[in-house]
């Protein structure tokens, strides 16, 4: 077949058509008629560097999607804002209630304080069953009658329409201590139609007390030793511009405090101060002892105010209350006093006897104490002051005090922490005949010194302790026999004859030479050759126990200095074995009773009564022996 005029191969023509920029339309091979403007170019005929119409449509769809998302977000945000704007604006809420209390923020205690309370309902609907309560600080009084307490203000407001405002004016006399901040609490409770909930709105208004008409200042130690005297200097000052009448200071003492003295009479823990002029002051000096354990804190409460009348010391109005804490500490220098080795609280000593006293002391501080002086003052009606003697000490007879100090014991010049020492002295109690009623001996131990190296505590160390010993009463008991004399008539031969009966009167006598004695009893047993006849005379009452052969005499109560006697009759039938002797009619005699003052049993003894009737007129010793 001859070659074609076009020498270009089919492959070359295809390549040209692929990369040709001007594309000719394809020849129609079908009867379909397609407009030229809708004819799609051959994909391979497009320039890869020029965007096609398909790529443009893809970009348009992405932008449209982004726009749709943004539009949707805007619509949602607008809806949410509209919801909160519309719906929340129509919701009942405590945030839509304003409860404002206005007034002075600084007042003088006891002043009448004007307060204005404003309530506004900003809710879109009315609130119902609204109740207002204003709680005042404790001690608030009615402005029109300060004697009348005014703890709170209550009002049933009822319905408060939307947007409505109400105002209440209040007055109250408010009391408090200077510098104290108090609070007036306001509470509004309400509900609404269609809801079972109760809504509560609260607010607080602070008030600062700048001064009070009457104020208290208390000067005392912040720590004290248990049992040591503690002094309070209480100063009451009038800050009022007018005279205040019926001023009363009341106190509440903690457990363990005992009042010893007061410069103003104390009546049921109250001090009546009377009338105070403007600017006047009154000071009360109160002394007592506080007992407690180491490191215990006790609080004293003092309140100042006025009473209804001068005869009624109960506070009608309280202007100020002062709390004073005091800490109980261990003694700075601990002392122990022993009487005859007995350190107990209840010590008794007999009359007319020699006593030994030992005083031991120990430094309980963590620092040295210099110039320590231990003094023991002796007092009481049972001491023979002329008999006091001491070693390593000095007896100062002017005030009956035994002193132990650096001049008698060099170790006391500087007592180290934990160091201790001992001092001793002796004395005698008075003889029974010289004792007064309720005789006692008191030892008051005081220690003084100086401590250094500590702050916020007194530099002077003082400690004291008291110990009391009671002198037991002395009972004098005697026993003797009578035959021819005495209140009871006797019979039988004298001198007594063996195997024949002779009656005798046994006389017992008791004398109380000290404190009163209760339930005194004298007793003795009878020998087998003596019988009890039952005849008695004198005070008291006699009884006889045949089983034990014991005769008892109940003397009853014996006053100080009392002297009493009792007589009972016995019958003696001596044996031949007793010939030439004076037989005993009883055993030895004993007395027992209770010393009311000393709180102990007291006893006394006496010898047996015999046939020696020395009290009879014309007595002869030969009349006592059995024939």
CA 551 to chain centre: 56
**Range of the structural domain that residue 506 is part of:** 475-623
Residues of the chain with pLDDT under 50: 1-5, 26-30, 32, 34, 37-40, 42-46, 50, 81-89, 455-459
Q: Which stretches does DSSP call E strand in 23-144?
A: 97-102, 106-108, 112-121, 127-135, 141-142
Residue 85, pLDDT score: 43
Domain membership of residue 17 (yes or no) is no
Is the CA virtual torsion 159, 162, 165, 170 positive or negative?
A: positive
Residue 26, pLDDT score: 47
Largest CA distance in the chain: 211
CB atoms within 10 A of CB 605: 11
Q: Output the CA–CA distances (angstroms, integers) from residue 387 to 90, 341, 353, 404, 434, in the order listed.
A: 102, 19, 11, 18, 15
Give, as one character, the DSSP assignment of residue 610.
Answer: B
Residue 43, pLDDT score: 46
Residue 132: name the closest of 173, 100, 161, 90 by CA: 100
Residue 408, pLDDT score: 87
Secondary structure (DSSP) of 280-339: -EEEEEEEEEE---TT-EEEEEEEEEEEEETTEEEEEEEEEEEEEEEEEE--SEEEEEEE
pLDDT digits (tens, 9 = 90+) for 170-197: 999 887 777 788 899 999 999 887 778 8
Residues 502 and 492 sit within 8 Å (Cβ to Cβ): yes
The residue from 211, 235, 261 where one domain ends is 211
Residues in contact with 128: Cβ distance below 8 Å, sequence separation at least 6, in sequence order: 158, 159, 190, 191, 192, 193
Residues in contact with 430: Cβ distance below 8 Å, sequence separation at least 6, in sequence order: 351, 352, 381, 382, 383, 384, 439, 471
Residue 340, pLDDT score: 92
Domain membership of residue 11 (yes or no) is no
**Residues 518 and 559 grouped into a single domain:** yes
**Residues 311 and 275 grouped into a single domain:** yes
Domain membership of residue 91 (yes or no) is no
Residues in contact with 564: Cβ distance below 8 Å, sequence separation at least 6, in sequence order: 509, 510, 511, 538, 539, 540, 555, 558
Could you tell me the CATH number of the domain that includes residue 245? 2.60.40.10
What are the residues facing 347 on neighbouring strands?
Answer: 469
Domain membership of residue 288 (yes or no) is yes
Domain membership of residue 135 (yes or no) is yes
For tokens 């004076």, the residue is 582
pLDDT digits (tens, 9 = 90+) for 197-247: 888 999 999 999 888 888 899 999 888 877 778 899 999 999 877 788 889
Q: Which two tokens stand for residue 298?
A: 């006790």
The residue from 211, 242, 262 where one domain ends is 211
Residue 514: name the closest of 627, 405, 351 by CA: 351
Q: Which two tokens stand for residue 282?
A: 């009154």
Domain membership of residue 55 (yes or no) is no
**Residues 615 and 487 grouped into a single domain:** yes
d(CA 618, CA 494): 12
Domain membership of residue 25 (yes or no) is no
Give, as one character, the DSSP assignment of residue 139.
Answer: T
d(CA 312, CA 267): 11
Element spanning 537, H or E: strand 530-538
Residues in contact with 388: Cβ distance below 8 Å, sequence separation at least 6, in sequence order: 378, 395, 397, 400, 402, 425, 426, 427
Secondary structure (DSSP) of 517-530: EEEEEEEEE--TTE
Say how many domains are in the chain.
4
What are the residues facing 461 on neighbouring strands?
Answer: 449
**Residues 482 and 592 grouped into a single domain:** yes
**Residues 174 and 248 grouped into a single domain:** no
CB atoms within 10 A of CB 329: 20
Which 3 state secondary structure label does DSSP give 419? coil
**Residues 597 and 583 grouped into a single domain:** yes
CB atoms within 10 A of CB 153: 18
Residues 159 and 126 sit within 8 Å (Cβ to Cβ): yes
**Residues 175 and 305 grouped into a single domain:** no
The residue from 170, 193, 211 where one domain ends is 211
373: left (phi over 0), alpha (psi -120 to 50) or beta: beta
Residues 510 and 477 sit within 8 Å (Cβ to Cβ): yes
**Residues 548 and 410 grouped into a single domain:** no
Residue 339, pLDDT score: 93
Where does residue 450 rank: exposed (0-12), middle (13-18), buried (19+ CB within 10 A)? middle
**Residues 194 and 230 grouped into a single domain:** no
Could you tell me the CATH number of the domain that includes residue 369? 2.60.40.1530
**Residues 521 and 393 grouped into a single domain:** no
**Residues 596 and 486 grouped into a single domain:** yes
**Residues 138 and 239 grouped into a single domain:** no
Residue 100: name the closest of 115, 118, 114, 113 by CA: 118
Domain membership of residue 607 (yes or no) is yes
Could you tell me the CATH number of the domain that includes residue 511? 2.60.40.740
């Amino acid at each position: 077949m001859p070659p074609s005029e076009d020498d270009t191969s089919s492959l070359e023509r295809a390549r040209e058509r692929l990369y040709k920029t001007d594309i000719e339309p394809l020849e129609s091979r079908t009867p379909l008629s397609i407009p030229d403007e809708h004819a799609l170019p051959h994909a391979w005929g497009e320039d890869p560097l020029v965007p096609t119409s398909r790529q443009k449509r893809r970009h348009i769809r992405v932008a449209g999607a982004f726009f749709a998302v943004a539009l949707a977000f805007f619509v949602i945000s607008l809806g949410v804002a509209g919801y909160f704007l519309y719906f929340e604006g129509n919701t009942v809420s405590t945030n839509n209630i304003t409860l404002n209390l206005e007034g002075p923020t600084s007042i003088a205690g006891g002043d009448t304080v004007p307060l204005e309370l404003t309530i506004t309902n900003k809710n879109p609907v009315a609130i119902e069953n609204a109740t207002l309560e204003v709680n005042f600080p404790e001690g608030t009084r009615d402005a029109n009658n300060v004697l009348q307490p005014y703890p709170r203000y209550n009002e049933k407001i009822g319905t408060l329409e939307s947007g409505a405002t109400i105002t209440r004016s209040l007055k109250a006399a408010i009391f408090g201590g200077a510098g104290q901040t108090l609070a007036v609490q306001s509470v509004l409770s309400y509900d609404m139609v269609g809801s079972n909930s109760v809504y509560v709105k609260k607010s607080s208004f602070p008030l600062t007390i700048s001064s009070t008409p009457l104020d208290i200042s208390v000067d005392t130690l912040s720590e004290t030793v248990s049992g040591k005297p503690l002094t309070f200097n209480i100063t009451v000052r009038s800050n009022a511009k007018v005279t205040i009448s019926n001023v009363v200071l009341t106190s509440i003492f903690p457990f363990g405090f005992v009042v010893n003295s007061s410069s103003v009479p104390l009546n049921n823990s109250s001090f009546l101060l009377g009338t105070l002029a403007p600017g006047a002051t009154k000071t009360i000096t109160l002394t007592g002892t506080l007992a407690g354990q180491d490191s215990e804190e006790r609080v004293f409460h003092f309140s100042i105010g006025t009473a209804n009348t001068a005869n009624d010391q109960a506070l009608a109005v309280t202007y100020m209350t002062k709390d004073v804490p005091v800490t109980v500490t261990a003694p700075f220098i601990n002392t122990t006093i022993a009487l005859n080795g007995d350190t107990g609280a209840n010590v008794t000593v007999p009359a007319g006897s020699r006593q030994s006293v030992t005083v031991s002391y120990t430094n309980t501080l963590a620092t040295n104490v210099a110039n320590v002086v231990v003094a023991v003052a002796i007092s009481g009606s049972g001491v023979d002051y002329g008999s006091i003697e001491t070693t390593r000490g000095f007896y100062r007879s002017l005030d009956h005090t035994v002193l132990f100090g650096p001049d008698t014991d060099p170790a006391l010049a500087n007592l180290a922490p934990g160091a201790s020492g001992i001092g001793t002295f002796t004395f005698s109690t008075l003889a029974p005949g010289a004792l007064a009623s309720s005789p006692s001996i008191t030892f008051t131990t005081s220690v003084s010194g100086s401590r250094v190296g500590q702050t916020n505590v007194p530099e002077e160390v003082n400690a004291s302790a008291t110990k009391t010993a009671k002198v037991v009463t002395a009972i004098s008991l005697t026993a003797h026999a009578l035959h021819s004399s005495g209140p009871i008539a006797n019979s039988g031969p004298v001198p007594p004859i063996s195997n024949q009966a002779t009656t005798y009167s046994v006389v017992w006598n008791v004398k109380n030479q000290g404190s009163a004695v209760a339930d005194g009893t004298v007793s003795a047993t009878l020998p087998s050759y003596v019988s009890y006849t039952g005849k008695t005379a004198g005070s008291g009452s006699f009884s006889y126990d045949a089983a034990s052969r014991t005769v008892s005499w109940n003397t009853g109560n014996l006053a100080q200095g009392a002297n009493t006697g009792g007589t009972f009759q016995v019958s003696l039938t001596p044996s031949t074995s007793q010939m030439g002797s004076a037989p005993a009619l009883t055993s030895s005699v004993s007395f027992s009773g209770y010393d009311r003052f000393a709180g102990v049993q007291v006893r006394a003894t006496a010898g047996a009564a015999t046939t020696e009737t020395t009290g009879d007129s014309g007595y002869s010793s030969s009349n006592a022996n059995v024939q």
